[in-house]
Structure 1
Amino acid sequence: MAHSDRPNPETITLENGNLAATPDQVIAAIEALNFEQETKVHEPLFTVEQSKKVTFDKPGAKTKNLFLRNKKGRMVLLVVEQDCMIELKELRDKLELTGGHLSFASTERLGQYLGVVPGSVSPLALINDHSNSVQVFIEKALIEQGWIYMHPCRNTHTTRMRCDDLLTLLESWDHPAGIIEF
């Protein structure tokens, strides 16, 4: 599957002019807080269906990550279990968001605020949102699984870490997660 329409993740420039974080920088940020993590390098994964083919030896939730925006430019990162079906109108109402309907954010906006390309979205990309423009919501059922698998800013890597540690990491990046139940 060719993805020549995607920018090179190594050259993405954030809204503040800095280059986006690399997997090594994300892992270093996790380890700086003494959180346990394991990272596996693999072929690029662009879809949930492709990621289902990659197996891991240890338990943990696999995710679907949706980067959304409304007409007023409010941005939301929704993190749910990989098979969860989402109706955007119902989600907007559930989150009590004002400012119009939710739709998928553009590739340009994804790079500017999260520093990633499509297929690499995860809560770990919030390391790049220095202006705190993106609000994150995580499905309660994921948190209850104890461990979670996510891309550390590249879809060629998957990192496993404790869900509680992820929540603490996001708080340290000024992105406290809202917990949502479906």
Structure 2
Amino acid sequence: MGHTKEQLLSLLQEHEIEFSQHEHPVVLTVEAQAKYVGHMNGALTKNLFLKDKKQRFYIVSALAETKVDLKVLSQRLGLGKGGLRMAPEEALTEIIQVPLGCVTPFSLVNESARNVSLLLDQRLKTQEYYFFHPLSNDMSIALNLHDLDKFLNSIGKLPAYVDLEADPTVGKDQPPDLAGLVPSGATVLPDPPENKASSQGHEKIPVSVNSKPTVVTAVKSFDAPERRNHVLLRIRR
């Protein structure tokens, strides 16, 4: 089970990381968050949870106004065009263990997220303070660059600040400039649990049709009492 908001706040205090906390209703977007903390001294951030084709995961944390082109970023990481896409919702709960709308660098505090790569917007360095959700989107906490780096170092993550709006040429003589930020290993999501209470039972029966090996899936249908013993044969060759 992942860290709770309370555990994270206690951890920050334990490491003497300074922050201010601001409670508000649950928000799912930067625009909604701005209604409650946008008037305060601090920059709003957007946080993207991404994956590549090899099941490697990334968090991109940027100022709200920074333009992040996933095609360009994919090429800069050496993944080719279209190499990055939004991670599926199940990865939120299995990998970084936070609800929808709660992705931030703080998500990396969970052990299950140890292989997730973090790309920080270089423009964060221009701000005195910025806001992130502390694993829960009913609160925002503000901290400065020094304390963000201090938190990342405390969990063994080396901060990597990137110009996310840059579009350098990538080619034979110009290798991807961000290739070093690609995670070294893939993360495998567990298979979803089987629903033993399913209304259908499946049984594979080996048979032979025209002397060719065939697998038949027998599906017992329980849609209506009068069809309880009916068996449908689906033949795959």
Distance 1:129 1:57 in 2: 35
Q: Does 1:21 align with 2:33?
A: no
Specify the alignment match of 2:15 in structure 1. 33
Residues 141, 92 of structure 1: alpha-carbon distance in 2 compared, 3 angstrom cutoff? same
Number of equivalent positions = 164
Secondary structure of 1:28's partner?
helix
Matched-pair contact (CA < 8 Å) for 1:113–1:133: no
> Displacement of 1:80 after TM fit?
0.5
Superposition TM-score, scaled by structure 1 size: 0.83
**Aligned-partner Cα distance in 2 for 1:46–1:78:** 17
Deviation at 1:60, TM superposition (A): 1.6
Residue 81 of structure 1: CA displacement? Answer: 0.7
Say whether residues 1:43 and 2:10 are aligned partners: no
Tell me if structure 1 keeps the 8 A contact 2:38–2:44: no
Deviation at 1:30?
Answer: 0.9
Matches within 5 A, 1:14-93: 19-55=1-37, 58-93=40-75
Question: 1:98, 1:136 → 2: CA distance?
Answer: 19
- Once the two structures are aligned, what percentage of the paired residues are identical? 27
Q: Secondary structure at the match of 2:8?
A: helix
The verdict on how the C-alpha distance between 1:35 and 1:103 changes in structure 2, with shifts beyond 3 A counting, is: same
SS at structure 2 position matched to 1:49: helix
Distance in 2 of aligned mates of 1:24 and 1:118? 18
Conserved 8 A contact 2:71-2:82: no
Q: Rate the CA distance shift 1:129–1:62 in 2: closer, same or farther, 3 A.
A: farther
Of 125, 137, 142, 1:160 maps to 142
Aligned counterpart in structure 2 of residue 138 of structure 1, from 100, 120, 127: 120
Cα deviation for residue 96 of structure 1 reads: 3.8
Deviations 1:124-167 (A, max 9, x none): 11111445110101101113313121000001011111221111
The aligned residue for residue 121 of structure 1 is 103
Change over 3 Å in CA distance of 1:32–1:87 after alignment to 2 = same
Shift of 1:57: 5.9
Give the unaligned 5+ runs of structure 2: 166-237
* Max Rg structure: 2
TM-score of the two chains, using structure 2 as the length reference? 0.64
Does 2:86 match 1:94? Answer: no
What SS is found at the alignment partner of 1:54? helix
Give the whole-Å Cα distance in 2 for the aligned partners of 1:170 and 1:56. 25
Greater relative contact order (Cα < 8 A, sep 6+): 1
Letter in 1 for 2:33: S
What's the Cα RMSD here?
1.9
Task: Name the aligned partner's letter for residue 53 of structure 2.
Answer: K
Unaligned runs of 5+ in 1: 1-18
